[in-house]
Amino acid sequence: MAQRTVVVASRVGLHARPAMLFTQAAAATGLPVTIARPGGQPVDASSILYVMSLGVPGGEEVTLSAEGEGADEALDGLVELLQQDLDAPEAGA
């Protein structure tokens, strides 16, 4: 299982638009990807409801995990995405 820890750069955290962009990218990997807050239970990273229910604020670390062929590359892309302010107007374009 591949795993990465990243600090969420979006000033609003993983809510609304940032959560939508992240979950779409996670689903597009075609792999089972999870996301978890420190000490928390991992949830399906492709589900906007699960991701928003985590209540991740900006500046908090999260842990991403994925299994399958291409998991490292998929997580690298998701980490790069979370390192951006996804609430900025040009994000996700």
Q: How far apart are CA 52 and CA 56, in angstroms?
A: 7
pTM over 0.85: yes
Hey, how many other C-beta atoms are within 10 angstroms of the C-beta on 64? 24
15 has catalytic annotation:
yes
Contact 12, 87 (CB under 8 A): yes
**Domains in the chain with CATH codes:** 2-82 (3.30.1340.10)
Q: How far apart are CA 80 and CA 78, in angstroms?
A: 5
The pLDDT value recorded for residue 87 is: 83
Catalytic residue from among 8, 15, 26, 37: 15
The pLDDT value recorded for residue 90 is: 64
When pLDDT is cut at 50, 70 and 90, the band that residue 61 belongs to is very high
